[in-house]
Amino acid sequence: MCGIAGYYLKTSDADRTRLEEMARRLAHRGPDGQGLHAMGGVGLAHTRLAIIDLAGGAQPLYNEDRNLCLIANGEIYNYLELRRELEKLGHHFITHSDCETILHAYETWGEASLERLHGMFAFALHDIRHQELLLARDRLGIKPLYFSQTPDSFSFASELKALLPLLGRPEVDPVGLGQYLQNNFTCAPHTLLAGVSKLRPGEWLKLDANGSVRRQRYWSPLHTTPLDLTLADALERFDTLIEQVIEIHLRSDVPCGLFLSGGVDSSLLAALITRRAPEPLRTFSIGFPDTSVHNELAAAAAVAAQCGTRHTAYEARAEELLERLPHVVWAADDLTADYANLPVSLLAERAGAEIKVVFSGEGGDEVFAGYGRYRANFLKRLLGQLRYPGSGGFRTGGMFSNEAISLFRPELAHALRDWRAPFAQAWNEPPPTWSRLMRMQYVDLETWLPDDLLIKADRMLMAWGVEGRVPFLDHRLVEFGLGLPDALKIEGRNGKRFLKLWGERFFSKAQLWSRKKGFTVPVRDWLRGERLADLDRALRASPGITAWFEPAAVRGLIERQRQRGDRSGPLWALLNFAIWHRLMVESDGDAPPARQDPFGYLLG
């Protein structure tokens, strides 16, 4: 796991000083080393977190005749198999790095090599002979990659903050802001920064010497074929598949751990990993000491005891989490207002003091249909479809109600008209043979998963130099889970039916089939009393808030919250945006302290 950045200049040579500045902004992603490549107008920068080939895997990496140069972030899990195949074809490897296989695979198969890579990755490859620059991102978007293009330049980076030295005066993209406000995240290709786009999951981009760009998706969930399987056949097929996935995901030259919530996904990972790990697996969980707020420390501890892990449970004070907010917003930088960013950040910091690699259960709900929204009743779907046509009544609710549209200044109100466009587009892409359930899963796999959950999984961990691995998002598992018959995914009010049935070999029915409530962050309680008054002052003082929102309407939101109404969701979104604006637009994107009162940060 690493950080990558770089650029191409049409009219001048690459500047190593600028590359070093981009790398500095990604140092948290790669505290173990830095490497640069500058040739003509192309500059590449890499910061390294050493996981495989600790001594010899430094980047940039070059092929035998040094006509290809690579910087990469992530892991190629099937690198041993690919290496053996490529060596038989005559390739000579210089290191034992998993990423070196990308170079030789590209030499042999070109862009088609991407279809052979199993893993999580984002990389840039400079083809020196042909004067081309290739960018690529893994199938599910586990690893991030952003880019910006002007008539005379092209730049890219793992995080938005590394692009700031090249953007001049950063500006907010109104379409991205509208999506963020309604969804709590922006949908690819948009970001909150004007002129900066996300490379889509499963996509490559090639830039030639003239600055012309070609883009193509080499994989999407649309590659999935609905499966006609009985339960017995599906269980047998999954047995083989999950063992293959876990085996290659465990490849590492450093110890691994697991974030254990006590839910189905992380519990099954604990059972699967401990069967293969030579030493007791390190597991970590987090909750609140306040029993009025639900947490699952007891459930996680029970699973840890059953699996024989070395378990650590942290109890987080509410104040401790709230004071992480400025740093969490900086870490995310592709802003999401996901409450779970706070506890995951704390857990990553604590776990990172002991280990470099952590497994987690992201993807299980999307792949095996665990969310309650997949089981919405007919009337609710019909009302959603009537109100917001285009996506079958799915993903129709925004954070801000119609009454709150008065909150936005005219230029933002105009941009908000299209906030649902990514969901409607995704809904209508699958073939007619797909069921309604498969369509809902597909919409989430194309939007919510890469643009919210995986930002959390990547950024909150990488801010503390920790690599996150998500086995349920191996593309083979995605195609299997998405393609399962609906009856194997959902039964009545029970979601994730297949995974729970398969898991009964490890855990009791009570553990697997009880309703998971999840870890709750008490934002509603935070935005009351004195803190609400602090928030009022902070929002009034924020240039980002005053530029995009009507002051009277913001005060109206505050007043409704003060009168015991619940507008904590919209207010939380505004607070996060105000902090982001100060970090990324008003300032230079440098990290704030790990703990700082968010209201004081805005008022300071």
Q: Which two three-digit tokens encode residue 18? A: 């600028």
Q: What is the CATH number of the domain that holds 104?
A: 3.60.20.10
Q: What is the average per-residue pLDDT within 145-156?
A: 96
Q: In this structure, what token pair is assigned to residue 284?
A: 């970590």
CB 427 within 8 A of CB 439: yes
Chain segment 351-374, per-residue pLDDT in tens? 999 999 999 999 999 999 999 899
Answer left, alpha or beta for residue 589, where phi above 0 means left and psi between -120 and 50 means alpha.
left
pLDDT digits (tens, 9 = 90+) for 287-323: 887 654 556 899 999 999 999 999 999 998 888 999 9
The confidence band for 50, taking pLDDT boundaries of 50, 70 and 90, is confident
Decide if pLDDT at 520 tops 80.
no
231-265 pLDDT, tens digit per residue, is 999 999 999 999 999 999 999 988 899 999 999 99
Q: Is 29 helix (H, G, I), strand (E, B) or coil?
A: helix
The answer to whether residue 2 is catalytic is yes
Return the closest-CA partner of residue 35 out of 99, 128, 92.
99
Sequence-distant (6+) residues with CB within 8 A of 431 are: 222
Specify the pLDDT at position 168.
Answer: 86
Q: What DSSP assignment string belongs to 266-296?
A: HHHHHHHHHTT-SSPPEEEEEE-S-TTS---
Q: In whole numbers, what is the pLDDT of the chain averaged over residues?
A: 92
- Closest Cα to residue 329, out of 533, 596, 604? 596
Q: Does the residue 406 lie in any domain?
A: yes
Q: Which pLDDT score, from 0 to 100, does residue 220 have?
A: 98
Whether residue 465 is predicted with pLDDT greater than 70 in this model: the reply is: yes
What pLDDT digit, counting tens, does each position of 178-219 carry? 999 999 999 999 999 999 999 999 999 999 988 899 999 999
Task: Assess contact for 426 and 446: CB atoms under 8 A.
Answer: yes
DSSP assignment letter at 514: S
Length of the chain counted residue by residue: 604
Q: Would residue 230 count as lying in a domain? A: yes
Tell me the three state secondary structure of residue 451. Answer: helix
**Which band of pLDDT confidence, cut at 50, 70 and 90, is reported for residue 20?**
very high
Q: Which of 466, 481, 513 is the last residue of a domain?
A: 513
Please state the rounded mean pLDDT for residues 525-548. Answer: 95
Same domain, 98 and 165: yes
Percent of the chain whose pLDDT exceeds 90 = 80
Say how far apart CA 50 and CA 34 lie, in whole Å. 11
- The pLDDT score that the predictor gives to residue 289 is 76
Each residue's pLDDT tens digit, 386-440: 566 666 767 767 888 655 567 888 878 878 878 889 999 999 999 999 999 999 9
Mean pLDDT to the nearest integer, 542-563:
94
CA torsion 557→560→561→565, rounded to 10°?
Answer: -130
* Distance of alpha carbon 345 from alpha carbon 338, whole angstroms: 12
Domain count, the chain: 4
Largest CA distance in the chain: 73
The answer to whether position 136 is within a domain reads yes
Average pLDDT of the residues in 453-482 = 98
Q: Which residue among 201, 219, 237 closes a domain?
A: 219
- Residue 461 and residue 120: Cα distance in Å, rounded? 15
Does residue 518 sit within a domain?
no
Nearest to 14 by CA among 123, 128, 91, 138: 128
Residue 292: predicted pLDDT? 46
**Containing domain of residue 400, as a range?**
375-437
Identify the pLDDT of residue 599.
96
Give the best-scoring range by mean pLDDT among 31-40, 274-283, 449-458: 449-458
Residues 485 and 336 in one domain: yes
Considering the domain architecture, whether residues 68 and 145 belong to the same structural domain is answered as yes
CA torsion 92-98-100-101 (nearest 10°) is 70
Q: How far apart are CA 242 and CA 248, in angstroms?
A: 10
Same domain, 578 and 505: no
Q: For 449-469, what is the mean pLDDT?
A: 97
pLDDT of residue 120: 98
- Quick check: 379 pLDDT over 60? no
User: Averaged over 120-134, what is the pLDDT?
Assistant: 97
Residue with more model confidence, 546 or 31:
546
Write down the pLDDT at residue 399. 84
* Contacts (Cβ under 8 Å, ≥6 apart) of 500: 264, 494, 512, 513
Residues 272 and 188 in one domain: no
The CATH number covering residue 254 comes to 3.40.50.620
To 10 degrees, what angle do helices 264-274 and 297-307 make?
20
- Is 388 exposed, middle or buried, given 0-12, 13-18 or 19+ CB atoms closer than 10 A? middle
11/23 same-domain check:
yes
Identify the active-site residue in 2, 187, 256, 307. 2
Distance of CA 140 to the CA centre of its chain: 9
- Say yes or no: 310 and 456 in one domain: yes
Per-residue pLDDT at 525: 87
Residue range 558-562: mean pLDDT, rounded: 93
pLDDT of amino acid 519: 64
Task: Tell whether 500 and 357 lie within a shared domain.
Answer: yes
Q: Is there a contact between 300 and 327 (Cβ–Cβ < 8 Å)? A: no
- Between CA 339 and CA 456 the distance in angstroms is 10
